[in-house]
Amino acid sequence: MSVVGPRPHMLKHTEQYSAIIDKYMVRHLVKPGLTGWAQVTGYRGETKTLEQMEGRVKRDVWYIENWSFILDLKIIFVTVFNMFKGERNAY
């Protein structure tokens, strides 16, 4: 596990969504992280709908395709800022 990367999903989510969400398994090509692009762009907490999971996966794939050290620093900064701001959906 790394500090920044796609957040790991439960195994039941992988079984449920890998067949119906395009590029879902691309997330597994990199180490999972404690925080990620999906989390700092509003996809925190539990995903209750297919649309929410599609949005999270889309952002995870974007992160993988656009990775840079500067992007990781930005994600860390926004994560720390949100911690002090007291985000409701963060966990």
Would you state the pLDDT for residue 17?
A: 94
Summarize pLDDT for 1-29 with one digit per residue, the tens: 999 999 998 899 999 999 999 999 999 99
Q: Do 84 and 76 meet the contact criterion of CB atoms below 8 Å apart?
A: no
3-state secondary structure of 34: strand
What are 32-87's pLDDT values in tens digits?
A: 999 999 999 999 888 889 999 999 999 999 999 999 999 999 999 999 998 898 76
- With vertex at residue 31, the alpha carbon angle to CA 76 and CA 34, rounded to the nearest 5 degrees, is 35
C-alpha–C-alpha distance, residues 54 and 33, integer Å = 18
- Say if residue 89's pLDDT is above 80: no
User: Per-residue pLDDT for 91 more than 60?
Assistant: no
- Under 8 Å CB-to-CB from 43, ≥6 apart: which residues? 52, 55, 56, 59
